[in-house]
Structure 1
Amino acid sequence: MIRKRTNDRSTNRLQRSSLWQNCTNLRSLKQIHASLIVKGFNSNQAALRELIFASAIAVSGTIDYAHQLFARITEPDTFMWNTIMRGSAQSLNPLKAVSIYTQMENLGGKPDKFTFSFLLKACTKLQWRNQGCCFHGKVVKHGFYDNSFVRNSLIYFHANAGDLAVARAVFDGLEERSVVTWSALTAGYARRGELAVARQLFDEMPVKDLVSWNVMITAYAKGGEMERGRELFKEMPLKDVVTWNVMIAGYVLGGEHKKALEMFEEMRSVGELPDEVTMLSLLSACADLGDLEVGRKVHCLLLEMSKGDLSVLLGNAVIDMYSKCGSIERALEVFMGMREKDVSTWNSAIGGLAFHGHNESAIKLFSEMQRLKNIRPDEITFVGVLVACSHAGNVEAGRCYFNLMIEKYNIKPNIRHYGCMVDLLGRAGLLVEAFEFMDKMKIEPNAIIWRTLLGACRVHGNIELGKRANERLLQLRRDQSGDYVLLSNIYASVGEWGGVEKVRKLMDDSGVRKEPGCSLIDADERALMRFLFDSKPKLHPRDRVMG
């Protein structure tokens, strides 16, 4: 028999009590849990509501503990069911919200107007279109269809599931539409790439709030229309950190990294404080630009913001940034200083060492990673390891690690792993073995792998295998002048000038033209790098030649 409590009454009691507010971490949850056990765990329903609310909603990262607690409650009321479903829907495993509802139905529990909103959110995250439609039917069956909160959830679900016609029908059936309703439908059209319809809805909104503005700007940023996004950005009466983050991330996504940095400068000038999302976008911009100086300043600002304690996500991004900017020493300093590391942390360090030629150090670090019980190498780890073996010319070790990946870690090789092995064998001059390896690949070799092998044939002067590699390469693509030049160089290296002429004729017949070589001198504009880090920045112009 399930005891029924109204959601509103339970919420009021939670507001009057301070028990859940004292739960700030897992330890305090366990202490309160222990005290309830002493007094009789199921004897105080009000305290149980607060404990479930704290563990499922209020305290971050304790949803699994909330499920353990919930399983011990003999008579959960509707508020408790809703709370555990809400927490599950927001978690990394929203599937549990649906299974909890099934359990609730089997035990005779009665849903209320909040229940299906949480379930529809879970289905949206899971992309479970059919299950969400089933819940739509249950909404009608239980008489909650006229509730505006539930209607908004239905619009949000159907718009995300791609059923824009259904979402629009629900929207059109509403007599009163809130700004949340308008924003949900606008976001749905925007996600499906229908920016014109989304903008029309946005313009028709009788009232716009900060969320609705952010929805439309996000649509433009993801659609690559940054100029229109910028125009809308300028019109906004009020901006928050999300607004700035969307603009910065949009520029980074579109490859306009300097504009992203300029946007951050503008953000700081108006007094808006960046958050973790902001800094991740900036680090990505610095990594892609290869600008070590600005990257260092971003890192310093991060340390100032976090008081020296970077999150795993930010730490990984800093390591990646320093590696791509050519400072593997600083990348390793950050790696060594991180108290918590995940597999991406190790991958960034191993990959950084390998790509910078510190091959023995990369292999040594991988050996340390293997000894860890809580970290398991993945497919990206082995790309770094195989690159290290290739650059070091250690064929035997490369073979062993390739087999280790398959046999011990059950990782299926992808095209990058195969490419590393072909590169390893090609660099070592084992061209026949490289061709045999490619014949046995379970994935069709792509143009990059054939180009790698063609390059190896040029280095080792093997005309016959070079011709074979070039033929396969031309079957995949015929418009890359560099592919012809490689084969031409193989002939030239052994003095077969007739072969060179044949390649030139083949290029002419295919309509391929070799692009002339050029050098680009890029003088950094340090005015851009004021970045609001220094009140009086020093200009350090540098010239770099890029071939």
Structure 2
Amino acid sequence: MKGREWQAALSLFGHMPVIRVATDVISFNATISAYDKEGQWRSALRLFSDMQRTSSAADVISFNATMSACARPGLWQLAHHLLSEMPRVRLAATVVSFSTVVSACESSGQWQMTLDLISDMQTAAILCNVITLNSAISTCEKAGQWQVALDLLHSSSLKISANVITFNAAMSACQKGGQWQLVLELLTAMSRGGLSADVITFSAAISACEPYGLWEQVLRLHAEMARSQVVPNRITYSASISACRAGNWQLALGFFATMQARGLEADVISFNAAISACEEAAQWQLAHHLLSEMQTARVAVNVRSFNTTISACEKAGNWELALELLSEMRDFRDLRVTADEISFNATITAVAKHGPWALALQLFSSMPSARLVPDIISFNATISACEKNGFWQLALMILSGLATAELQPTVTSYGSAISACEKSSDWQAALEILRTIFHHRLANGITCNSALSALARGSQWLRAGALLSKMRDRAIPADAVSYSAGISACEQGDVSAQPAFG
């Protein structure tokens, strides 16, 4: 039924008793189908139930139409119940009946039920068609069952010639399962089978390459698209930008520019992918320009848009702009741009590395008032800010706060605290932290070197020698920095390094 024909059908059915026209199975079926088209599954079920109280016995079409009404909202249990009722009223299910229930299973990813239905079809000698197969593979894709999807695609018992939709569904299943090699193999198999890949096919292949940064492969896929005269769409470009962001940020921005030049409006996904490419390369000017362009183009910015731009500033050392963007987020009235832990962590890290340490501490302290709970990254960045200025007491106080926050210190937490002690020449505190690190088996060359430098400043050559021996016993490689610190400890203590370290 097209347009408003379903409304006319419902109106006519309702007036039939009034004008004394008997309802029959045909009128019931037409009305159930009208309810199906309108998405009124409850009304369809009610009318189907009403048929049982009339002389109009439900036929296969009645069952199929009612199952279809249940399939649209994914009510697979109801659809399956109706299918199981058909033999009770001596009606033989058709391929349409089974396909409808398989379709109902699709949205909820009921792949086991789908396999059972296909098995029942084979038992009943009902040939599975390509529509049923496509729905079954899509069900597996939604359930993350890429292996089952491939088994269905390659099943010889089904005797179905797969079409482009079949391959696209299988490729999507493999793509979501992280099987990029299999996706490319399916693309090759399509070509060998005489099927022409469409934009959905290529988009799935490029999306499969995205998590692994396979930008060279993406380039080849774009070249193949051009040869096949397939025009990329916004999804294709967004996936291409994301795939290139880490390995070739210039190419990522090139795809973004090409997309706009072809008249495709960039959305929040493509903008965020382009900003992420700039962030990977610490191109804060370009990232900030794209963020501003989003707002000019009235594209709905979100928290990721801001966070990625702040991260680009952090990597480039532009703590002032990072702080400005965080402030802008906090003033934003759109809930999609509410500053979160990532926003604060990136800003604290930027300030800790390149700005005033007190400001980093202030940002850290302000997180609870923003209803945010500092995480290990927040703590580590703040400890690092104290470390760079040698405020070892403050660094140790923040380090001790991890226990209160029920967070487990990392080697970075301890390393920054030891480094703070080293810069303030407090070798006792450095050794105390190092004992804790060894206890938790987190010691590495960096933490040991910081402790050795603290010992050197304190002329503790015996302890430096003992630490070098302990490093050797624990299989922690000593490098030039380690021995240089040890030698410096000896020089400060006016002792020859040869007898001290052998």
Give the TM-score category using the shorter length: 0.5 to 0.7
What code does the residue aligned with 1:434 have?
A: I
The residue number in structure 2 matching 1:433 is: 432
Of 398, 401, 413 in structure 1, the residue corresponding to residue 398 of structure 2 is: 401
Q: Give the aligned partner of residue 206 of structure 2.
A: 217
Query: Which one-letter code corresponds to 1:370 in the other structure?
Result: P
CA distance in 1, matches of 2:273, 2:245: 7
| Cα contact 1:447–1:477 (8 A) shared by 2 | yes
Q: Give the counterpart of 1:200 among 188, 197, 205.
A: 188
1:156 to 135, 141, 147: 141
Asked if the contact 2:380–2:412 (Cα under 8 Å) also holds between the matched residues in 1, the reply is yes
- Cα distance, 1:314 vs. partner? 0.8
Compute the displacement of 1:137 (Å). Answer: 4.8
CA positional deviation for 1:218: 3.2
User: How far is 1:175 from its partner?
Assistant: 1.0
CA distance in 2, matches of 1:244, 1:320: 23
1:289 aligns with 2:281: yes
For residue 250 of structure 1, report the CA deviation from its aligned partner. Answer: 2.0
The answer to whether residue 38 in structure 2 is matched with residue 13 in structure 1 is yes
Alpha-carbon separation, structure 2, partners of 1:455 and 1:173 = 72
Instruction: Return the offset for 1:292.
Output: 3.6
Say if 1:262 and 1:468 are closer, same or farther in 2 by CA, change over 3 A: farther
Distance in 1 between residues matched to 2:218 and 2:133, nearest whole Å: 30
Secondary structure of the corresponding residue to residue 230 of structure 1: helix
The answer for unaligned runs of 5 or more in structure 1 is: 16-43, 50-76, 87-100, 121-131, 507-547
> What one-letter code is carried by the residue in structure 1 that aligns with 2:179?
R
User: In the TM superposition, what is the alpha-carbon distance from 1:239 to its structure 2 partner?
Assistant: 0.6
Q: Distance in 2 between matches of 1:389 and 1:412?
A: 19
Residues 393 and 261 (structure 1 numbering): CA distance in 2 closer, same or farther, change over 3 Å?
A: same
Q: What's the CA shift for 1:360?
A: 1.6
2:240 to 247, 251, 254: 247
Which residue pairs with 2:215 in the alignment?
Answer: 226
Q: Give the Å deviation of 1:173.
A: 2.9
Residue range with higher mean Cα deviation, 280-289 or 204-213: 280-289
CA spacing shift, 1:384–1:224, aligned 2, 3 Å = closer
1:86-165 equivalences in 2 (<5 Å): 112-120=101-109, 134-140=112-118, 146=128, 147-156=132-141, 160-162=145-147
Amino acid at match of 2:244: Y
Q: 1:102: how far off?
A: 8.6
Q: Aligned letter for 1:417?
A: S
- State the alpha-carbon separation in 2 of the partners of residues 223 and 137 from structure 1: 32
Which position in structure 2 is the counterpart of 1:376? 373
Shift of 1:438: 1.4
Whichever residue aligns with residue 390 of structure 2, its letter is G
Q: Quick check: 1:152–1:180 contact (8 Å CA) kept in 2?
A: no
2:305 aligned to which of 314, 323, 339: 314
TM-score after normalising by structure 2: 0.67
- 3-state DSSP of counterpart to 1:181: helix
* Conservation of the 8 A alpha-carbon contact between 1:386 and 1:402: yes
Letter in structure 2 aligned against 1:12? K
* Residue 406 (structure 2) aligned to one of 410, 415, 425: 410
Pairwise CA distance, 1:498: 6.4
Give the distance between the partners of 1:268 and 1:134, measured in 2 at CA. 43
Determine the structure 1 residue equivalent to 2:22.
none
2:265 to 273, 276, 291: 273
CA distance in 2 between partners of 1:261 and 1:501 (Å): 60
Contact 2:206 2:239 in 1 (8 A): yes
Matched-pair contact (CA < 8 Å) for 1:159–1:185: no
What fraction of aligned residue pairs are identical, expressed as a percent? 17
Return the alpha-carbon distance in structure 2 between the equivalents of residues 394 and 289 of structure 1: 32
- Residue 233 of structure 1: CA displacement? 0.3
Question: How much has 1:279 moved relative to structure 2?
Answer: 2.6
Deviations 1:486-514 (A, max 9, x none): 422541575489648999xx9xxxxxxxx
Q: Is the 8 A contact 1:162 1:192 kept in 2?
A: no
CA radius of gyration, larger in: 2
In the alignment, the residues of structure 2 paired with residue 306 and residue 186 of structure 1 have an alpha-carbon distance, to the nearest angstrom, of: 34
Given that residues 350 and 365 in structure 1 are in contact (C-alpha distance below 8 angstroms), is that contact kept between their aligned partners in structure 2?
yes
Offset at residue 390 of structure 1 (A)? 2.7
Among candidates 330, 335, 347, match of residue 326 of structure 2: 335
Q: Distance in 2 between matches of 1:173 and 1:450?
A: 65
C-alpha contact 1:179 1:207 (8 A) present in aligned 2: yes
1:366 is matched with which residue? 364
Deviations 1:428-449 (A, max 9, x none): 43222122221332x5334443
Distance 1:197 1:159, change over 3 A: farther
CA distance in 1, matches of 2:471, 2:34: 71
Partner of 2:484: 488
Residues 247-286 of structure 1 show CA distances to partners (whole Å, capped at 9, x for unaligned) of: 22222232x2233333434444434333323332332332
Distance apart, 1:210 and its partner CA: 0.7
Report if the CA contact (8 A) 2:461-2:489 is conserved. Answer: no
**Contact 1:247 1:263 survives alignment (8 Å):** yes
User: Are the equivalent residues in 2 in contact too, given 1:159–1:167 (CA < 8 A)?
Assistant: no
State the alpha-carbon separation in 1 of the partners of residues 292 and 370 from structure 2. 30
Deviation at 1:182, TM superposition (A): 0.6
Query: Quick one: which amino acid aligns to residue 283 of structure 2?
Result: D
SS at match of 1:119: coil
Deviations 1:464-493 (A, max 9, x none): 444455556666565x9xx22442254157
- Look up the SS of the partner of 1:229 in the other structure: helix
State the shift of 1:344 in Å.
1.9
| Structure 1 residues 472 and 484: CA distance shift in structure 2, 3 A | farther
Alpha-carbon distance in structure 2 between the residues aligned to 1:184 and 1:219:
13
How far apart are residue 149 of structure 1 and its match? Answer: 4.1
**CA 1:415–1:160: 2 relative to 1, 3 Å:** farther
| CA separation of 1:199 and 1:439: change in aligned 2, threshold 3 A | same
Change over 3 Å in CA distance of 1:118–1:187 after alignment to 2: closer
Shift of 1:181: 1.5
Letter in 2 for 1:186: M
In the TM superposition, what are the counterparts of 1:252-263 in structure 2 within 5 Å?
252-254=245-247, 256-263=248-255
Cα RMSD (Å) of the superposition? 4.4
Q: What letter corresponds to residue 296 of structure 2 in structure 1?
A: E
- Secondary structure of the equivalent of 2:293? helix
| Secondary structure in 1 matching 2:250 | helix
